[in-house]
Amino acid sequence: MTKRSPATSFTGRHVIITGGSSGIGLATALLLASRGADVSLIARTASRLDGASASIRAAHPAVTVRTVSVDVADKDAVQRAIAELTASAPCDVLITAAGLAHPGHFVDLPDDLFRETMDVDYFGTLWPIRAVVPSMIERGTGSIVGVSSAAALVGIFGYTAYAPAKFAVRGLLEALRGELKPHGVHVGCVYPPDVDTPQLAYENQYKPAETRAISGSIKPLTADAVAATIVEGIERRRFAIIPDAQTKLLARTIGLVPGVFTAVFDRSVRRAQRH
């Protein structure tokens, strides 16, 4: 088996993106299409996929855009979708950006939400990866990037359903990185903070006051900024892909001084509860 050297250009590369109909997934698809990549989008809502593909084609008519409407938590459906998308061209880059976050107080969240969040965030990351890895190993090339969260670095009040799923994504990618590196396959994990997307707008409807207090007045990043960091991370074959300075600081220090962060969070919670 001959291994190809890491790609320095996305021209003609086939990129599959889950959660590609909006937010970080769509922003990354648009950026990669501008770099000459052919993009395949997977998402649940067909109408949003149609709009996303139309926007990419309008901006970059020379690239190929494919879409498949599927629930990423459905293993068999994901396998069929990726088999369809790779029938004419193998997957060079997989980006798993589909996700679900519904914050709330632990005692108020319904039992089903914990299962659904794990199904979408963790298994919705696992099944696409399982579908593309054998071909990448055989070809000795490829890049797999999963979108986790800053909430995978430290547990945050209000995210008892979301944080465990994103911690699981982080654990999967950390273990997979070492296993696939000898085969020439890059694995990356993205740790975005709040990002100005439809998902954040949904979350904000349900965030407890304590969660808002911990977030403070930090301005959410744009999806375009996160997309640019993802593309750079693929080019440089980074594992930890972190788009902002505060999350970088958190990643570097949480293991060294965890008590400092928990003390700050606890103080924010007490202040919110007093008010």
The one catalytic residue among 148, 149, 207, 268: 148
Distances (CA, A) of 220 to 126, 192, 217: 27, 10, 9
Output the pLDDT for position 4: 42
Read off the pLDDT of residues 141-150 as tens digits, 9 standing for 90 and up. 999 999 999 9
Backbone angles phi, psi at 128, to 5 degrees: -60, -40
Read off the pLDDT of residues 94-153 as tens digits, 9 standing for 90 and up. 999 999 999 999 999 999 999 999 999 999 999 999 999 999 999 999 999 999 999 999
Give the confidence band of 217 by pLDDT, cuts at 50, 70, 90: low
Centre a 10 Å sphere on the Cβ of residue 274 and count the other Cβ atoms it contains: 6
Q: Identify the structural domains of the chain with CATH numbers, from first to last.
A: 14-274 (3.40.50.720)
In the annotation, is 162 catalytic? yes
In the annotation, is 148 catalytic? yes
Output the pLDDT for position 215: 77
d(CA 62, CA 59): 9
Read off the pLDDT of residues 264-274 as tens digits, 9 standing for 90 and up. 667 776 777 77
The one catalytic residue among 21, 53, 143, 166: 166
Residue type, 73: A
- Would you tell me the crossing angle of helices 245-253 and 258-274 to the nearest 10 degrees? 120
Average pLDDT over residues 47-52: 97
- Would you tell me the crossing angle of helices 46-59 and 23-34 to the nearest 10 degrees? 30
Which residues, other chains included, contact 41 with Cβ-Cβ below 8 Å and sequence gap of 6+? 17, 20, 21, 25, 26, 29, 49, 52, 53, 65, 66, 67, 68
DSSP 8-state class, residue 117 = H
In the annotation, is 53 catalytic? no
User: pTM higher than 0.85 for the full model?
Assistant: yes
